[in-house]
Structure 1
């Protein structure tokens, strides 16, 4: 025994054990969610050195050094106090949702907007192309994924065309999601005067742990008065499975009206952080113009803001439900509070329905999500699995009065780690459209029954259970 401890392997084992205890002390002292803490502690001891390495890059959940960008302090202050009358017109439950979201994000509800919903990626591509071609002053785009394929080249060439006409064009891409973008794609853009940059590139000696925080937003702002956001990235709208091409199913919105200023502010914050350039002035933030009647509240969330903001807003929305909740998401790994909220809503008589893809590009995520199915079904939650296309939409509706649309998935990364952007839409017409689209897809999807879950093998049950234990780290 003494000989082993004095050997090279023995010293490594002692070092790893000591580091495991040290890192466990650090994680426990941070008073995180118990499930997250337990997952990391188990990882330190079960995976020698690998667990420590992963924690060094992926264990941090706060992004403390992010700079804030406020283009017009007086206008922002006015917006914060303006919603009092608008809030009074909401149902009591929705009033609580709006108030909580405003306090957590500093983005209040804003009236006078027009919202157009796109249920298919081809609709979004067509509308976005037309809007970019009509740009007069600037085009600002921020996307998690930009692919150098035919779709990516199409939008690249559009930006080049507009830049040559004198339109200011800026393109911000996430360094991880857009890793395929190379010099051959960027060079023509920069030669034409399009300003491009990457969010969060890896830097070995400068906060390497920040590499874990990804900008998952999908956003375009044109001339400060038109905005696009939702689930769709810039790239082919299909997923290859062997020789087959499965189309992606997206949900995006076009926004016109005073709330576009909020989207421009979000882009300005991200752009300022990545480049240092400050986008301010009337050219980027023109005087708001009423375009419709929809009440809109922007929800920019991420590790730079109040912890668990997105999860708390979602929980408040679920608790406000009296009749029906629909959730459409590609990646479903609920936290325990979210799972309990859905179960309790179903048990008190609310019609809770989930529309999920039958299969995604991340099997571990599938298994972690399916580990909850049995409990949900026992509580009365109805689950549909969509197989016609790869379901990538991220939509929540509550009682046909409130809709949440954006980039956020129902998982830990979206709740705590990624920079996300969603919209709360307080509008029966918009929410009703999204409910009808949910019903249309659910009618063609497979209903998950309790019997098929009871027939799972012990190996499959163990796999799903293990993935659930590790889900806080996914």
Structure 2
């Protein structure tokens, strides 16, 4: 499928937060003629989820083929009415690894489908970190998230389209369905749309277990003057930390933008365990304090950039299914730099060595030893965790009450 190859001739538009992403996506869905395919970790039944719901129902009712994949852990609480309206309109909804609950707690915690991808008519794609939930809009309040997605047009969309259809085929339909859908919906070729070279890179638990991390490390090793990484959940592997420290020591301006106002306190605690180690090597750390940072973006020098769903933590790098695009384009790199520079200048606190805890150095040494070895070996430890093969299933597997509703309707007088 051409996974991990640079594809020239693309246009890449940076979309910041839900304010820019949602209107652009809804416009694309409204213009769709043949097909809409969406993968998302979170779909909530809130103002954003309801707006997406309305757009998908309208598209399906006018004859567009609509496929939606949600994660069973990330999207647990959708009402029967919400789901039934999708189904009645003809939307094909599937759930990745539906989970059961024990004493109200969800048990399907690991190996999640964390990708956020949308493809419209095999001609327009969106890849990034923004879910379908109200907390990606500023109107949500002080806990609204800061995040990014890109809109792509050009030949790379063919590869992304093949990927999302192949995911459906592997999970539920089979190779014949896959080939038929390609014939029915995919253009024979897409014209060049811009100057950007783009690589679509995914992480899974089979053949592409560390692809995203490898591309990060390769870009960091190649850096000559600038590295900026903005990542919500930062606790990467030993080799990536080592590459950042080496880059800083050879004179590269290495900057990390991390959470200062986290949505989960443990996120900041985990990242802060690395602060001494990074700052002493010359890495600059900025905590984004305006609201929770949810972005997963980076740039190196003046050409290379990445935007996607992958955090730099054990879940994303060793367990979850993720998708990023790597971009080689000066104009896009400059746009992303301006955006991140604005965050650092106006919404971040710079962390200085003198501000860190002055706890007993012996304890810090012991703690650093354990953190170091955890980072060094966790990719191999992740393989010991349960390796069930999660399946995509119809919504009834996650919400069995749907079956009861349909049986009740079928038994009503006058219903055939």
What is the TM-score with the length of structure 1 in the denominator?
0.72
Distance, in Å, in 2 between the alignment partners of 1:424 and 1:213 is 23
1:116 alignment counterpart: 13
1:244: how far off? Answer: 5.8
Distance, in Å, in 1 between the alignment partners of 2:41 and 2:350 is 32
1:273: how far off? Answer: 3.0
2:358 alignment counterpart: 455
Partner of residue 177 from structure 1, selected from 67, 70, 74: 74
Partner of residue 337 from structure 1, selected from 219, 228, 239: 239
Write out aligned runs for 1:65-464 (5 A). Answer: 76=1, 106-202=3-99, 212-238=110-136, 245-276=142-173, 278-279=177-178, 280-286=181-187, 287-444=189-346, 445-455=348-358
1:328: how far off? Answer: 0.4
Change (3 A) 1:470 1:367: farther
Give the RMSD, CA atoms, in angstroms.
Answer: 2.7
Change (3 A) 1:470 1:378: closer
Q: Which runs of 5+ in 1 are unaligned?
A: 1-75, 81-105
SS in 2 for 1:212: coil
Change (3 A) 1:470 1:306: same
SS in 2 for 1:421: strand
Please identify, of 418-427 and 230-239, the stretch whose mean Cα deviation from structure 2 is larger: 230-239
1:461: how far off? Answer: 6.0
CA displacement, residues 291-330 of structure 1 (integer Å, 9 cap, x when unaligned): 1121111001111223322222211110010111000000
Change (3 A) 1:131 1:390: same
1:128: how far off? Answer: 0.7
Distance, in Å, in 2 between the alignment partners of 1:227 and 1:463 is 47
Q: Which runs of 5+ in 2 are unaligned?
A: 102-106, 383-416
SS in 1 for 2:233: coil
Distance, in Å, in 1 between the alignment partners of 2:49 and 2:369 is 38
Distance, in Å, in 2 between the alignment partners of 1:456 and 1:146 is 43
Count, aligned residues: 365
Distance, in Å, in 2 between the alignment partners of 1:197 and 1:163 is 15
Distance, in Å, in 2 between the alignment partners of 1:153 and 1:196 is 15
SS in 2 for 1:288: coil
1:27 alignment counterpart: none
CA displacement, residues 223-243 of structure 1 (integer Å, 9 cap, x when unaligned): 000001101001113599xx9
1:284: how far off? Answer: 2.4
**Greater Rg over alpha carbons, structure:** 1
1:211: how far off? Answer: 6.7
Please identify, of 402-411 and 176-185, the stretch whose mean Cα deviation from structure 2 is larger: 176-185
1:374: how far off? Answer: 0.8
Change (3 A) 1:424 1:225: same
1:412: how far off? Answer: 1.6
CA displacement, residues 380-439 of structure 1 (integer Å, 9 cap, x when unaligned): 100000111211111110102100110000112111211111001010000111011111
Q: Which has the higher contact order (CA 8 A, sep 6+)?
A: 2
1:203: how far off? Answer: 7.9
2:393 alignment counterpart: none
